[in-house]
Amino acid sequence: MIPLTGIISLVVFTLFSGVLCFENNVPVYMWNIDTDAVVNPLHSLNAEELVGKVSLSLEGKLVALFMQDELSVDDFKSNDLAALKSLAEMDNDGTFYAPSVTKTTKLPEVLAAAGYNVVYVKSHQDLPTSAVVGKTVLVIDLPATQLGDLRKENLQLNSNAITEIYETLKSQQPDVVGIFTAKRNSQLQLDESRRRIARSATAKSAPREETFVDKFYNITQESGKLFLFFEKAPILKIKDENKTAWANFTLNVDPVFTGTVVNETHKTGVLVLTYEALAPSGPKNDSGFLTKAKISFHLSTKRGYWYINQTTIDFDVKINDATFKEDNLVLVTTDVSTPLGRSWHCTPKSRLASYGYYFNGTIIKYTNKVILETDGFQLQPFKVSKDKFGDGYDCVGFFTEGIWAAIILGLIIAMMLAWAISMLADVRTPDRYDDPKGKTITITATE
Amino acid sequence: MAARYRETYIYSFGGLLAAAVVVFGIYYILTGQGERIDIGWFLETITPYMWATTGIAFAVSLSVIGAALGIYTTGSSIIGGGVKAPRIKTKNLISVIFCEAVAIYGLIIAIVLAGMLDKYDPLKASPEKVALNYFSGFAMFGSGLTVGLVNLFCGISVGIVGSGAALADAANPSLFVKILIVEIFGSAVGLFGLIVGILMSSRIKMGDI
């Protein structure tokens, strides 16, 4: 009963205060204003109430209302508004501070209702060049601020802007009241969570890695269809046999597809990618130029699976002032065998094809002079449905061999544990001499 | 109550295992990758070190389990019988020694196999080298498993016979020598396992060279 009422009242209270929290409370700071008005910091003022408090003091003065997008009480504590602070401490009539005012966006309207002429200042040209007569409010929108580390700089810039504009106005007429406030509280997020805004702010400054190219190729021909997708651009690595450095060519341009790519009736296909005129990327000491590279994947089908049988490459490159040309060089492809109707998918960086090593008697020699490396690759020839890749057959399975080994050995250990627990069931205390009805055995201790 | 306790644990463990196997099996089948459960692929790609080290573990651990069970059986009988017939104490220690020998066989094999472990570079090795390393891994596994299982059952049997020998000796001293022959036959079985284990491990050649 009591916990129930407690819970209900707690819920009601949080909802109620939550409703209150949904009101944007923004601090308002005024300078060069001669007023005795005091504000109870525990209460939030309405825009009308605020104007009502200070309207007498605003009589006969030009009001410069500086509206920032977001402001909070913490911003006044930090030293970022130092320029504003020194401005306010200069020779002036007095200051006024209300820490929590709701509906500040309505301030211009409220002032207009109080008989002020509202002028929206969009840029420096809109500022009055001579003294203004009559009750006027200049509403000046300050540049947007951001959350996080950049906020300090924004606040400093804004306070410098305020100082500059205010002094311009003050040089024209002595009675200018400055009001500094904002449309929203920077610490209270209504629509989105603060975390999400902070994340999107950092995301804007650090965009999705430029290496992601997300290139999707849909090659539809009369004889068949092929889908190809590169998450990051594939890299063609070529090495001069005598040197140890590789020249890496990032194939981040769109290749040209030639020939019949897929022939469904004959169940074969050749995917030919031709790249032209690429400069290398990589360490600074790479100097080279890829005039042309033509990569051909020979595809075939057998007994319900499709394979990449062979990869051949023609290339014409210039590395470090030496020209290399290869025609129809056969590369060793990774074992791509996928059921028909499904796509081959590989996320981690892996070698799709490379020029193999050879074993010469007792000497093992590496002549890897060409490596085609993919980083995020998906291919589906044969039996492509209308617009989507078939299920991805991954190059890394769900259970890798390491996982299987660990499962087997873990099971062995688990069986040991099971045996041990079953042995615990055989623990018996000696109960031969127990007699519930008999006398309790007592042993007299002799001194 | 005790029986139900044991059965509950074993059934729940087995049930959990069966449920896991069923769930994963159905996942594989329904997503159309049934052929990914590939024992051949597993045997080909798994590192030979898994087999080798598991074999060494089995060699020593199963032998010690056998020896421990044997000593438990015979030791408690000797101690119990020795209360009324103290003369059996010294003579019957030979049963305990037979059990201990079983553990020593396992230890010898484990040390021999562990000495043969060596690293190799799968990328740089020739296909013959890779095949030899895989053979070594399997041979170590087989050798260790052989020795371990043989010693496990040998130890249990020697223990039970030794316990019978101690109690018979306590009743009638002339029986002991005859019963010892039974125990010797039991111990010989453990030796067979050791011989086969040594034979298998003689061809092992792990490593780059």
Structure-block tokens of residue A431: 């109960």
Is A336 or B172 the better-scoring residue by pLDDT? B172
Contact flag B42-A404 (C-beta cutoff 8 Å):
yes
Exposed/middle/buried for A361, CB within 10 Å: 0-12, 13-18, 19+? exposed
DSSP A41: T
Q: Tens digits of per-residue pLDDT, A257-316?
A: 887 777 777 788 888 888 876 665 544 445 567 778 888 888 888 888 888 888 888 888
Indicate whether B58 pLDDT > 90. Answer: yes
Is B129 or A144 the better-scoring residue by pLDDT? B129
Give me the pLDDT at residue B138, please: 95
User: What are the C-alpha distances in Å from A230 to residues A233, A398, B62?
Assistant: 6, 22, 53
Give me the pLDDT at residue A280, please: 58
Give me the pLDDT at residue B183, please: 93
Indicate whether A336 pLDDT > 50. Answer: yes
Indicate whether B208 pLDDT > 90. Answer: no
- Could you tell me the pLDDT band of residue A390, with boundaries at 50, 70 and 90? confident
Determine the distance in angstroms separating the CA of B178 from the nearest CA of chain A, rounded to an integer.
34
Give me the pLDDT at residue A348, please: 85
Of chain A, the percentage scoring pLDDT greater than 90 comes to 3
Give me the pLDDT at residue B15, please: 94
Give me the pLDDT at residue A43, please: 84
- Most confident option among A329-338, A370-379, B79-88: B79-88
Give me the pLDDT at residue B64, please: 97
Give me the pLDDT at residue A408, please: 92
The beta-carbon contacts of B74-83 under 8 Å, at least 24 apart in sequence, are B74/B99, B74/B158, B74/B159, B74/B160, B74/B162, B74/B163, B74/B165, B74/B166, B76/B163, B77/B162, B77/B163, B77/B164, B77/B166, B77/B167, B78/B162, B78/B163, B78/B166, B81/B166, B81/B167, B81/B169, B81/B170, B82/B170
List of residues 6+ apart from A319 with CB closer than 8 A? A238, A240, A247, A280, A286, A287, A288
Structure-block tokens of residue A189: 């997020």
- Could you tell me the pLDDT band of residue A243, with boundaries at 50, 70 and 90? low
Average pLDDT over residues B104-115: 96
Which DSSP helix (H) or strand (E) runs through A269?
strand A268-278
Distance, CA of B182 to CA of B187 (rounded, Å): 9
Which DSSP helix (H) or strand (E) runs through A339?
strand A337-339
Give me the pLDDT at residue A197, please: 62
Contact flag B127-A359 (C-beta cutoff 8 Å):
yes
- Mean per-residue pLDDT over chain B, rounded: 92
Indicate whether A194 pLDDT > 60. Answer: no
Instruction: Give the number of A-B residue pairs with CB atoms closer than 8 Å.
Output: 46
Question: If you search the block for the tokens 């056998």, which residue do you land on?
Answer: B66
Q: Do residues A227 and A217 make contact, with C-beta atoms less than 8 angstroms apart?
A: yes
Q: Torsions phi, psi of A221, nearest 5?
A: -125, 175
User: What are the C-alpha distances in Å from A271 to residues A225, A345, B160, B187?
Assistant: 11, 16, 73, 69
- Could you tell me the pLDDT band of residue A116, with boundaries at 50, 70 and 90? confident
Contact flag A428-B2 (C-beta cutoff 8 Å):
yes
Structure-block tokens of residue A381: 């020839």
Is A119 or B180 the better-scoring residue by pLDDT? B180
Average pLDDT over residues B151-167: 96
Indicate whether B20 pLDDT > 50. Answer: yes
Q: Do residues A289 and A317 make contact, with C-beta atoms less than 8 angstroms apart?
A: yes
Give me the pLDDT at residue B106, please: 96
Closest CB from B31, B47, B124 relative to A364:
B124
Average pLDDT over residues A178-203: 69
Average pLDDT over residues A34-52: 85
Contact flag B9-A393 (C-beta cutoff 8 Å):
no
Indicate whether A38 pLDDT > 90. Answer: no
Task: State the ipTM, two decimals.
Answer: 0.86
Indicate whether B101 pLDDT > 80. Answer: yes
A351: Cα within 13 Å, side-chain hemisphere: 15
- Could you tell me the pLDDT band of residue A37, with boundaries at 50, 70 and 90? confident
Is A2 or A255 the better-scoring residue by pLDDT? A255
Indicate whether A202 pLDDT > 70. Answer: no
Question: If you search the block for the tokens 């360490």, which residue do you land on?
Answer: A283
Chain A hits for B8, CB-CB cut-off 8 Å, are: none
Indicate whether A40 pLDDT > 90. Answer: no
Is A321 or A403 the better-scoring residue by pLDDT? A403
Is A262 or B20 the better-scoring residue by pLDDT? B20
Q: Tens digits of per-residue pLDDT, A64-101?
A: 888 888 888 888 877 778 888 887 777 778 888 888 88
Give me the pLDDT at residue A360, please: 47
Q: Tens digits of per-residue pLDDT, A127-146?
A: 777 877 778 888 888 877 77
One-letter amino acid for residue A20 of the chain: L
- Could you tell me the pLDDT band of residue A423, with boundaries at 50, 70 and 90? confident
CB contact A411 to B (< 8 Å): yes
DSSP B148: H
Q: How many residues does chain A have?
A: 447
Chain B hits for A397, CB-CB cut-off 8 Å, are: 33, 36
CB contact A29 to B (< 8 Å): no
Indicate whether A434 pLDDT > 80. Answer: yes
CB contact B40 to A (< 8 Å): no
Q: What is the pTM of this model?
A: 0.59
Indicate whether B34 pLDDT > 70. Answer: yes
Structure-block tokens of residue B74: 């015979």
Indicate whether B2 pLDDT > 70. Answer: no
List of residues 6+ apart from A194 with CB closer than 8 A? A147, A187
Site from A398, A413, A417 to mutate, B interface, most B CB atoms within 10 angstroms: A398
Q: Tens digits of per-residue pLDDT, A392-402?
A: 888 888 888 88
- Mean per-residue pLDDT over chain A, rounded: 79
- Could you tell me the pLDDT band of residue A363, with boundaries at 50, 70 and 90? very low
Give me the pLDDT at residue A361, please: 47
If DSSP codes are grouped into helix, strand and coil, which group holds residue A46? coil
